[in-house]
A and B are shown apart, each in its own frame.
Chain A
Amino acid sequence: DAGVIQSPRHEVTEMGQEVTLRCKPISGHNSLFWYRQTMMRGLELLIYFNNNVPIDDSGMPEDRFSAKMPNASFSTLKIQPSEPRDSAVYFCASSLLGLAVNEQFFGPGTRLTVL
């Protein structure tokens, strides 16, 4: 398996622009998670989906952030409009959740820089 795939790996944009981050989870996994990592705040869970349905979006910073999962093999995280404080590494992870909690598999991340 190719693992969790994220694109782009790096994104540099200007304040006010729309940014879309993409994620392809591992085939067969039923849960997908979006995280943000910064030096100041560490790893933060933004939102997670189970069977393509958003379960918990309490970590989404504000209305500028939105996430979708139109099918089991694709998810997007959109920031509109972007701000310099959104600069961070964004990770997508997937997992197979059932009766037990299994580990999450992380993608390589997207490094976002907002100028």
Chain B
Amino acid sequence: AQSVTQLGSHVSVSEGALVLLRCNYSSSVPPYLFWYVQYPNQGLQLLLKYTSAATLVKGINGFEAEFKKSETSFHLTKPSAHMSDAAEYFCAVSVAGGTSYGKLTFGQGTILTVHP
């Protein structure tokens, strides 16, 4: 079975500062990894996904994530935070095959607060 651990349920940064949201995964087979963002009272929106093509993945709104197999990590970064980035972020893992095929296993989420 797959699992995801997001380190830090709350992260606070100043506007213009680096954003780093941590995600570690566990999977016995090559994983597919996703980052989603959820704004208040909305559904989840895909930020980016890793599908074994390139280890550095660029997403929407200036976010990117790097897949590091040796560290089983897929941390999300953005060089300069904007007030509009304040939201909850979810890391998720899936695999292509077996009984878990296509299912997403989500982390517990990280709430990002951006201070002026």
Task: Give me the interface of A with B, judged by CB distance under 8 Å.
Answer: 4, 31, 33, 42-43, 45, 48, 50, 56, 91, 93, 95, 97, 99-101, 103-109
Contact = CB atoms under 8 A, between A and B. Distances in A.
Nearest to B52: A100
B108 A101 contact: no
A104 to B, nearest CB: 6
B56 interface: no
Given A43-B90, A101-B51, A48 B43 contact: no
Given A45-B104, A108-B42, A109-B43, A101 B99 contact: no
B108 to A, nearest CB: 5
B45 interface: yes
A contact face: mostly helix, strand, loop, or mixed: strand
A45 B103 contact: yes
- Among B43, B51, B105, max chain A CB count under 10 A is at B43
Contacts of B46: 103, 105
B94 A101 contact: yes
Given A50-B102, A103-B34, A106-B43, 11 more contacts: A33-B104, A45-B105, A56-B103, A91-B44, A93-B44, A95-B102, A101-B95, A101-B101, A103-B46, A106-B45, A107-B43
